[in-house]
Amino acid sequence: MGFKFGVSGLLVLFALSLNEAQHASWQKPVQQEAPAFQMPIQKPVQEPVDFQSKQVLQGPVKELAWSFPEAPVEAEKPEVAFELKTPLPANTVAVQCGENMVRVEVKKDLFGINQHIQPSALTLGGCAAAEEDAADEVLIFESELQACGSVLTMTEEELIYSFNLVYAPEPLAGTPVVRTGGAVVGIECHYLRKHDVSSDALRPTWIPYTDSKIAEELLIFSLQLMTDDWQFERPSNQYFLGDFIHIQASVIQYMHVPLRVFVDSCVATTVPDVNAVPRYPFIDNHGCMVDAKITGSDSRFLPRAQPDKLQFQLEAFRFQEGDGSIYITCFLRARSASTITCPVHKACSFSPNGWITADENNGACDCCETSCASRKGRDAPLDAGIQWEGETSLHLVVKENPFEPEA
C-alpha cells in the first residue's frame, strides 16, 4: 500500500514537472541564429550646431550675379511747337431797337464753340424767348422798352433803355457738369441800336502735366494729354469750353508678352480725391463712354492703332460750382493682346446707330445699356484670363470763353 502511494506521488510530481517545462517553452522567445559576420553598430557623429563657423570652414559664398530688373527709363520728350488757341469773340447776338419795342436774336451757338446753349437758361431781363427759329437755330426775344427788367437812363441828348441778356446754364441732365459758361450781354437802345460788351482776356500760365504709376510686375500705366494731331504730349493742361481734350492711355510693358490696355472707368472731380462730391463718371460700366449718351457730346474712343495704347477725346466741361480745375482719375486694365474683347474688357463709344467698339467686337458693347458685370472687389477676377490693373490720374484746367458774346 505504501509502495502504491509512493509510485502515485512520483507520477504526480513527474506530471507537474512536465507541465512547467512546457509552460516555460511557450513563454521563451525564439532566438534567431546570428549571422556568421555582423558589422558593429556605429552612432552618427554629432556635429556642433554652429552654422556660421561651418560656412567659414567651407569657404566664402559666391555672390549672386542676378539682380531685380530696373524699370525702363522714359525717353526724353522732344520739344513741341505748341500754341494754345484762344477762342475768338463770337458775334452771335443781334439787336433791333424800335420806337417802343426791342427785338433780340440770339444764335443757339452763343459762344461760337459749336456747342448749343440750353434755351430755357437764356433770358432777357427774366423774360423767356418769344419764339425759336429751328432752321436758323436762333432764339428770338421781343419786349417793350419799359418791360423785361429794362433800366432807363436820361441824358441831355437821349433816353437810353438798358437790358441784360443773361445766360445761366444748368448742369447737363443727370450730371453736375456744364459745357458752356455763364454770360451777361448788355443791350442798350438809343432809338438806334447800340451795344457794348467788354471783357478782360484770360492769360493763363502753362503747366505741363503727366502722371504715371508703376503697377505690379513692372508694368507702367499712364495717362497723357496729347496734342490735337496725337503726335506729341501736350505741354499745357489749360483748355477752354468748346475744346476737345485728347487723352491717351497706355501700358509700358517690361519682360511681358504683348498687352492690350483698356480704360475700365474714369471719374472727374474738383479735388484729387476720387470719392469727392461733386463727381462725374464719364467712362463707366467697364469701358462705356457714357458722356456722349448722357450729354449728347462728341466724346468717343478712337479706333485702336496699337494694342498697348488707347486714345479718346473728351469734350471740355466745367463743374457748375467749380473754378475750372478738374482731376481725372482712370482705372486701367491690361491683358494679353491675343485675347478678344468681351463685356468686361472693351472700349465702347455711343453713336446715333448704337454702341461701337474701338476694337473688333461690337457685340461686346451691347451691355452698355444695362450692366456689363458685377464686381465685389477690384482684385476679383472678371474672367479666366490673366490681367493687370492700375489707377492713374491727371489734372487740367478748363476756362470759360475769355470773350463775352457780342451783340
- Write down the residue that cell numbers 517545462 correspond to: 21
> Is residue 333 within 8 Å of residue 341, measured between CB atoms?
no
Model pLDDT for residues 238-263, shown as the tens digit of each residue: 999 989 999 999 998 765 678 899 99
CATH 2.60.40.4100 region(s) of the chain? 210-375+384-399
Three-state DSSP class for 2? helix
Please give the CATH architecture assigned to the domain spanning 210-375+384-399.
Sandwich (2.60)
| 279 Cβ neighbours under 8 A, 6+ residues apart | 176, 267, 268, 269
Nearest-angstrom CA–CA distance, 121 and 119: 5
Largest CA distance in the chain: 183
Looking at residue 303, what is its pLDDT?
Answer: 96
Which H or E run contains 23? helix 2-27
* C-alpha to C-alpha distance for 105 and 85, rounded to whole angstroms: 28
| 12-63 tens-digit pLDDT | 545 545 555 454 444 545 455 555 545 555 555 555 555 455 555 556 667 7
What span, in angstroms and rounded, lies between the C-alpha atoms of 155 and 61? Answer: 102
* Helix, strand, coil content of the chain in percent (nearest 5): 15, 35, 50
Residues of the chain with CATH 2.60.40.3210: 93-195
Among candidate residues 87, 108, 165, the one with its CA nearest the CA of residue 399: 87
pTM of structure: 0.60
CA distance 270 to 326: 5
Amino acid at 67: S
Mean pLDDT by 10 residues, the chain (407 residues): 49 51 49 52 54 54 70 73 67 81 87 81 89 88 89 80 86 76 81 40 34 52 93 92 94 76 96 93 96 94 95 94 92 87 94 92 92 57 63 92 66
Q: Which CATH architecture has domain 93-195?
A: Sandwich (2.60)
